[in-house]
Every structure is written in structure tokens, then in C-alpha cells.
Structure 1
Amino acid sequence: MKKKKRKRGWLKKFLFLLIIAAAAAGVYYWYQKDEKKEEPLAANAKVEEVTRGTIRIMTEGNGQIEAAETVTVTAPYTLKIEEVKVENGDVVEAGDVIAAVDRESVREQIEILESSLSEMNSTISNMDRSGSSALSAPVSGRVKRIYAEQGDVLTDVVAAHGGVMELSADGKMKVEISATDDLKTGATVNVSFLDYEEEGTVISEEDGIYTITLEDGENYDADLEAVVTDENGRTLGTGTLQPNHAYLVECAYGIADEIHVDEGEYVNAGMTLLTRTNVQYHGAYLTMLEKRSEVMEKLRELRALEREPRLKAEKKGILSGLSLADCTVAAQDAPMYQLILTDSFWLKAEIDELDIAGVEEGQNATIVFDAFDTEEYEGRVEKISALGQNVNGVTKYTVTVSVPGIDKVKTAMSATVTIVTDEKADVLLIPIDAVQTVNGQKCVTVLRGESQEIVPVTLGLVNHTQAEVAEGLQEGDQVVVQGKSDFEVMMDMMQQSRSHIQGGDN
């Protein structure tokens, strides 16, 4: 029995050597045959036409759906909850009932607000409703800047400049210079501007910037260029005159009618700076009226709640973080629940480091959910994380894609996103399998009648199925798309035969 087994093994090895010899002869013939241009196409080759169209470079990533916006809903007033009508995970529409509340607790809140309203009414009735037409100087000082002009709405002037006028409140001006010399605090210097030269004092230094003050004067206007010199007349630096302690005069209402002072003029506290019109009501009076309106609005809401004592959802969303319970008190402004808004979601997808460079904010994306993978939805790249995560030697980055609100989409659903990272329209296209590399040059085989010609080409964008041809071909050219070569097919057959023989020996 042992001798027969060795004989069969010898026979299989002989057959294997015979196949190898036949394959070698075939390979030799394949390399030695004449390279004629006029030869039939390989059986596994096909011809494709150069077409004009659009090519896209795309990358894919997988991730899960998250809430794009979650709002926390707080108790509008301190109320007793009778019965909670919802649970975490419920989808609610605007107007759906969240909880029933105790009507008596609503009445208690109404009484509190009615008492507050009564006090406000008393305060308002005793207030001075009319505002003063005169705006007076709040402090003594010299007028350095006047921002308001006749006809200006004074609140607009304050919003733009911080005040309607600027006073020098301490009787001093200052100039700041950058000096290379080491000036001592308290040193005396000369400050020159226009036709004036005044003595100044160095009062401080910070990061090489020296502040020098001098006595204010009638014509010492702000923003005048000044030169600072030492006792020998040597220039130490230049700067602009500014009030040492500027006082901005504010104004809460009215329209400027007449300006009563000039820049450079010294004013005493209480002196009229300007007069104004449209001052029928004082600012404090108007503020109190606004507060009263707010209380009235709350009373209106509470009375409606008294008629129908139920808390309702204001928007559509998914409930989470529900803290309400039956027969408990919800304190005013305390969180009651969170609402995951369903008008949009985020898809947090992981993109490979080799593709992330082509992903940019604003790019369009196509999303397919695992739960209903025959449907496609449009999205948009909103954010790209700069922090990568390396898992098993592969680094990926999180890309956030906005997803429109879809009724059947739920949080934590898995999805695949496809992002178009580059795109060209109206370009020449060929199948990627038609491209060959000969001595480092990209080429294609072009069919011209019965002849085949190898043509060098310059490629543009290339994806998994197509290549853009920038130079070398024309629309309508016929290119040969090669399958596996005869040699590759023969080697596959040899490998299969060898595997079969080796399997028989075991």
C-alpha cells in the first residue's frame, strides 16, 4: 500500500512539471510574437468611446445621528404639577400637553402679580412724567469734543461715541510717546504744539510708552500733534494731545435743538450744555411703563393657564431629561425637560486622514441611512474637527454634516455620508481601466480602424472608475479597456492547478 501511494505522488509531480513547461512555452511565445498594430482585440478587452461629461472625486465616512439643537424648557412660574402626560423619548408636536397643573397654584401666582401691578400703578402715578429740555454739565471741566449736532437723535450719538460731549475733568492734558531714552518718573520735559510750548511731567511708563501730563488751556484741542523735548531741546518723541481724564456726558432721550457751548470752553457743573426737543416723557417713567407691560403680559398668560391648566409644548421635538413628576411643585425657572428639535440633525462621520484634506466646510453631501438604505438625502459639511483619533493604525477625523429634518430619522441612527471633494464639468472622460503606464508615462491604446496605437495622455482628476483627459485624446476616440492579460490569465490557471495538486498530496 505504501509503494502505490509513492507512485501516485510521483505521477502528480510529473503532471505539475508538464504544466509548468507548457506555461513557460506559452509565455515565451507571448513575448516573442510580432508586435503588430493590426491585431485582434483580446477576448477579455472591450472598446469604449471618449465622452464629455462630469467627473467627481468623493470620499465616504460612517457615523451616527445626533441632535443639532436641544433646548431646555423651564417652568414659567412656580406651579404644582398634578399629572405628567409624557415620557422621555416621546415625540411631541407644538401644542401637545406636557403636564396638567393645579389650578389653585395658578391663582396664587396671579395674586402675586396683581399685587406687584398695583404697586407699579401707584409708583407711575406719582412719577414726574416730563423730562428736562436742558442737558447740564455733570462736572466742571473744559469741553474737548462735541459729538452732537442740531437735529441729532441724542441716544444715537451716545451709541456711536459713548456720549454727546467730552470734558477734561481734571484740568490736565496728556501725551503718550515711545522713547528710547530711559526717562524717569517725575522728570520735567517740554511739550510743543501749534505755537505753544508748555512744561510737562513724566507720570508713568508701561512697556516703553511714557505718559506726560501738562496743564489744560483754552486752545489745547484734543488730537493736536505734540513734540516732546528735553531741557536741551533734543526730541524725545511725538504724540497727540488727549484729555488726561475724559468725562463723557451721556443722554437718555431727546433730539438736539441747540448747542450752548464751544470746544475749548470751560464749564461749571450744572451749566447748560445743550437743549433738546421730544422730551415729553422722562426716561425713568418710560422704563417703568415697560416693566408694567411685562407684568400685564404675564398676567394674561396666567389667566389663560387658569382657564386651561395644562403646560404645552411650544415646538416639535423629542423629549429627554424630563424632571416633572405627579403631585410635585415645579419652581419658577427650574428645568422641566429638554426638547431635541427635529427640524435638523447632525451626522458625525469619521473621515480617513488620506481624504480629509479635500473636505471643506460648505461642501454638499449625500446621506444614506442603514435603516432605509434605498433612499438618499442631501446634507452640508458644517464643521471639520482638527483633532484626529488613531485606531488600529488608521487616523480619522470627525466631520459634522447637517441633515434636514426627516420624520423617520431618530437620534443614534447609523448612516453613511458621501462628500464631493472635487468636481469638473464638460471634460473628456475615459474609463480608468483604459490607462496604462509605460516608462513612467500615462498612455492609452486607441483603436483606429483595424489598428491599435499607444497614445501618451495627460490626466486631470481621477476617481475609482473614470479619468479626466487633459491632453492627448479627442471626443469620440475609441480606447481599448483591457481586462486581464493572457499572461495574467495563464498565471492564474497555473496557481489553481498547483493548489489542486498540493491539495491531493495531503
Structure 2
Amino acid sequence: MKRYLWVIGIVLILGAAAFFYYQGQAQIAEEPVKESLKTSKVRRGDIIITASGVGAVVTQADIQIGFTTAGVIDEIYVKEGDVVQKGEMLAKLEMDPQLTLDLLTQQINLINEQENYKNLVDNLDVDLASASVNYLQAQSELEDLLTDRASLNYRRCGDEYVLQYEADYNTALEILGRLQDKFNLLYATRDLSDPERLQAEADIASAQTKVNTALASWQYCLTYPSLEEIALMDAKIKIKENEVIRWKEEMDTLQAGVNPQDIELYQAKVGQAEAKLKIAEDNINGLTLIAPITGTIMDISAVPGQTIGNNTNIIRIADLSRPILEVYLDETDLDQLVVGYEAEVIFDAFDTSIFTGKVISITPELVKNGNVVYAHGLVELDPTSFGKPFNLPLWLNASVDVIGGRSENTLLVPIEALRPLGDGRYAVFVVENGTPTLRMVEVGLTDFTSAEILSGLKVGEEVTTGIVETVQ
């Protein structure tokens, strides 16, 4: 690589010398026109890479709510523009005495049904519950053992699994081979600490593990259970069968004390009473309208004294505490719309104030409007950047600059000074003692006019940017 750069330098210097020589000869022999180098000095400055778009204020929480019970509105405690807290009462309906009576009736009914059921099973429920659980568990375990025992009569895996595991092994082996070939071709000669080589080695190790696992699974499936395994399983089944019989006998004895049909009947009565009480409670709770979120009252579409049906929305709440912008950029700037990137926002209504924020989400598909396609995302504004209270109503329009990169007080040269050498390498011609000299540089951010120099130049050095003609 060093020899390659040295050769480039020699060729460029010789070319420059030949150029100046022939220019001098041409100037003497032909026309009184002189070509001279156009230069610029290395300076310090700022460079910002931005993608411009438009946006509007939106909210991530915009909810319409209403009473779940029909009735006449008694009071509305809020007005449009009020900020309310989650759980705060917003409005209420006139109290219906019938709803209160129904609630008390259902509460008493549930207490009575629960007491009746308790009296029925008070002396049996604990023991019977324990015996029932143990019986069901033992029965389930016995079924599992019988299933396992049946499988011991055959090869450990069926033909379809053998073929599948063999295919898995061959696939894993093929992937490993491809990774090894890729490593030998691209990374084997690289430095041992090269990140891409390390990643390739990790991928090969992972692939080798998958090969080993697939081979072990395939080989295991080809074997048959041993006689010792079969004998041990038969013994386990016998023990579990005796356990099932014992728990079944105990459960039958306990159940004989109470008619099972009576138990089912009383259980059903308790469940029915609980359901009726829940309905009565919901009807009472439905007389009040509670804020489901903390937010701002955006709209109220009812007045006290108005009769409304259940589940009719009358209040709209939006969370404006987190200023969010819905932004649209040209699809060519999609690479600049990245979660975490900073953004600068100027609202049409406050054209002298710059708001800052960050991109918090990106729509996974482009948005089409007519024949124009946009990249779409959300920007969350930083309230501390406002400097003073601002009212940001929903759908307030703004201009948005998403900042893809920023470097301040850095070394800058005109973009024309760069000489690309390929593979991301650059050089410039530095004027030393009146002669352009090739020098390698490390380039950072670039825009349409300037390039950031990370290393290779100093402030005040003179670089060439082209050739200009002057008439003598």
C-alpha cells in the first residue's frame, strides 16, 4: 500500500512538472495567457449535515370518551383547554335511585349465595380439594409415563425425524463450509484484531457448534432404548398406577358426603351472583366520567341536562405534555432520518425561535402523496429548548432540519481541494515553497462546499483547488 501511494505521488509530481513546463513553453511560443493554481487556506469552522423537511405538531395519545351508562348529564367539571390528571372526574350523570337499589340488592344476594355454599362444603372442601388435585396430577403423570413407555418399543425417533435431523446436519455442514470459504477468501490474511475477521471467526465457531449439535441429534435418533431403560420405565408406571388408585379412592370417599350435583348447583349460583354484582357496580361507576390519561381537554360535545346513550363519546383528551412532530422528508434523505438524530424546528407561527429535538421513531414504509414519496417519522421536542412558554397547538406547521452530523471548530477545506484515491482514501495538494505537494488526509464530514479534515493538515496551510487562467 505504501509503495502504491509513493508511485502515485511520483506520477502526480512529474505530471505537475510537465504541466508547468509545457505551459511555460506555450506561453512563450503562442499566446500571452497564463494558467495559475487556484488555492485556499485551511481554516477552522463548523460543518453541519442536514436534511430538510416539513412537519406538524401531533400527539401520541388522543382519546375520545363517554359515559358507559345512559342518563341525563348532571355536571361537567372541565372546559376546553383545561389540563386534567389521570383519574380526575370530568363529568357525572344524575343519580338513578334504581341503580343504587340494584347494587345493594346484588351485594346482599352474593353474600347469601356464598354463605349457602360455605355451609354445604365447609367440612369437606379442604380435604376434597387436596385429594382432587393429587389425583389429577397423578393421573396426568401416569399418562405421560405410558406415552413414554410406548415410545421405548421403537427407535428413538421416527423416520421423518431421522430424515429431518440428517437434513439439518447437512445444512449446518454446508453453511459451515461456506463460512470457512468466505473466511479464507476475504479475512484469512487480515490482521488478527481486524473486527470483520473476528466476526467471521465467531460466525464459524457458531456454525461449528450447530454442526456438532445436529450430528449428535441425528446419531441419537438412530439408536434404540436399552433393556435397562425399559425395565426402569415399567417400574415407574407400576408405582404411579398404585398412586392413582389410592388418590381416587380417597376422593370418592370424600365426595360421597355431598351430592356432586348440589355442589355444582351452588357453585353456579355464586358465579351468577358475582356476575350480577359486577354489572350493578359498572352501572354505578358509569355515572361518572373519569380521565383515562393526563392531558388537555380538546373538545366537549355535550352540555348539562342533555340526555345521552351509553358509550356515546362527549369529551376528547389529548396528551400535549410531550411535544411531538410528525415530519416528512424527501425519500432521497431517508438515510438522514435515523432514531436518535437531532433536529432543529422552526414553526411558521414563531419564525424567530429555533426548537430542538430528537427523532424517536421512523415509519417502516414510505408515504406517498400523489406522485411524491416521502420518508416519515416522529420528532420529540426538548421542552428546555423553548426558553419561554410556548403554546404548541395540534397541527401547527413547522420547517424541520434533521441533523445527520455536526462538527464545530474543526479544520475545513473547500470540497474542490479533495483528490479521491478510491476505497475512501483522499489526498490534497499542499503548496510548499510555491510547489504543489501531494499529501494524504483523513476526511470527516462533507457537504456541497466544504470537507472536514481530521488529520494531515494544519490551520493556515495552502491547498490547491483548481486552475485559473489570467491574461497578461
TM-score by length of 1: 0.52
- Aligned 8 A contact 1:91 1:318 in 2: yes
* Identical-residue share of aligned pairs (%): 16
2:452 aligned to which of 454, 457, 468: 468
Tell me the distance in 1 between the aligned counterparts of 2:67 and 2:157: 58
- Aligned 8 A contact 2:42 2:457 in 1: no
Change beyond 3 A, Cα 1:467–1:328: same
Tell me the distance in 2 between the aligned counterparts of 1:293 and 1:30: 107
2:414 aligned to which of 427, 432, 436: 432
5+ residue gaps, structure 2? 1-26, 163-222, 252-266, 384-388
Tell me the distance in 2 between the aligned counterparts of 1:360 and 1:270: 65
Change beyond 3 A, Cα 1:181–1:295: closer
- Structure 1 stretch displaced more, 412-421 or 380-389: 380-389
Does 2:357 correspond to 1:357?
Answer: no
Q: Which amino acid aligns with 1:32?
A: K
Structure of greater Rg: 1
Does 2:352 correspond to 1:374?
Answer: yes
Tell me the distance in 1 between the aligned counterparts of 2:426 and 2:227: 80
Change beyond 3 A, Cα 1:193–1:118: same
Q: Which amino acid aligns with 1:398?
A: H
Deviation at 1:409, TM superposition (A): 0.9
Query: Equivalent residue for 1:267?
Result: 244
Change beyond 3 A, Cα 1:142–1:220: farther
1:159-174 counterparts in 2 under 5 A? Answer: 166-168=141-143, 172-173=147-148, 174=150
5+ residue gaps, structure 1? 1-24, 37-41, 145-164, 183-190, 199-215, 222-260, 274-283, 491-506
User: What is the CA RMSD across the aligned residues, in angstroms?
Assistant: 5.3
Tell me the distance in 1 between the aligned counterparts of 2:82 and 2:356: 25
Query: Equivalent residue for 1:157?
Result: none
- Aligned 8 A contact 1:62 1:349 in 2: yes
- Aligned 8 A contact 1:443 1:454 in 2: no
Tell me the distance in 1 between the aligned counterparts of 2:92 and 2:372: 54
Q: Which amino acid aligns with 1:114?
A: L
Deviation at 1:48, TM superposition (A): 4.8
- Aligned 8 A contact 1:381 1:401 in 2: yes
Query: Equivalent residue for 2:51?
Result: 59
Tell me the distance in 2 between the aligned counterparts of 1:58 and 1:378: 13
Deviation at 1:408, TM superposition (A): 0.8
1:205-284 counterparts in 2 under 5 A? Answer: 218-219=234-235, 266-268=243-245, 270=248
Deviation at 1:180, TM superposition (A): 5.5
Higher share of residues assigned strand: 1
Does 2:159 correspond to 1:179?
Answer: yes
Change beyond 3 A, Cα 1:58–1:171: same
- Aligned 8 A contact 1:141 1:170 in 2: no
Report SS of the residue matched to 2:351.
Answer: strand
Deviation at 1:195, TM superposition (A): 1.1
| Higher RCO (CA-CA < 8 Å; seq separation 6+) | 2
Query: Equivalent residue for 2:196?
Result: none
Q: Which amino acid aligns with 2:113?
A: T
Query: Equivalent residue for 1:32?
Result: 34
Deviation at 1:364, TM superposition (A): 3.3
- Aligned 8 A contact 1:92 1:313 in 2: no
CA offsets, 1:227-275, max 9 Å, x none? xxxxxxxxxxxxxxxxxxxxxxxxxxxxxxxxxx9767541363569xx
Query: Equivalent residue for 1:319?
Result: 298
Query: Equivalent residue for 1:108?
Result: 98
CA offsets, 1:164-188, max 9 Å, x none? x744189554548341599xxxxxx
Change beyond 3 A, Cα 1:178–1:347: farther
Deviation at 1:431, TM superposition (A): 4.1
Query: Equivalent residue for 2:217?
Result: none
2:396 aligned to which of 402, 413, 434: 413
Deviation at 1:121, TM superposition (A): 2.3
Query: Equivalent residue for 1:204?
Result: none
Higher share of residues assigned helix: 2
Change beyond 3 A, Cα 1:379–1:99: same
Does 2:369 correspond to 1:387?
Answer: no
TM-score by length of 2: 0.55
Query: Equivalent residue for 2:43?
Result: 49
- Aligned 8 A contact 2:413 2:453 in 1: no
